[in-house]
Copies of this chain bind each other. A is one copy, B any other.
Amino acid sequence: MILCSEIKVRGYHLDAYGHINNNRYLELFEEARWALFERHVDIGGFARRNLAFNVVNANINYRSPAVMGDVLEIYVALKKVGSKSATLYQEARKKGSGIIVADADVTFVLAHMGTGKAVVLDDEFLALLDKFRSEHSAS
Q: Does A83 contact B (CB under 8 A)?
A: no
Residues of A at under 8 Å CB distance from B? 8, 10-12, 14-18, 21-23, 26-27, 30-31, 34, 52, 54-63, 65, 68, 113, 116
Q: Interface SS of chain A: helix, strand, loop or mixed? A: mixed
Q: Across the interface, do A30 and B15 meet the contact criterion of CB distance under 8 Å?
A: no
Partner among B12, B16, B31 whose Cβ is within 8 Å of the Cβ of A18: B16
Contact partners of A21 in chain B: CB under 8 A: 12
- Report the 6 A-B pairs with minimum CB-CB distance, sorted nearest first: A14-B16, A59-B59, A23-B26, A16-B18, A10-B34, A57-B61
A73 to chain B, nearest CB (A): 17
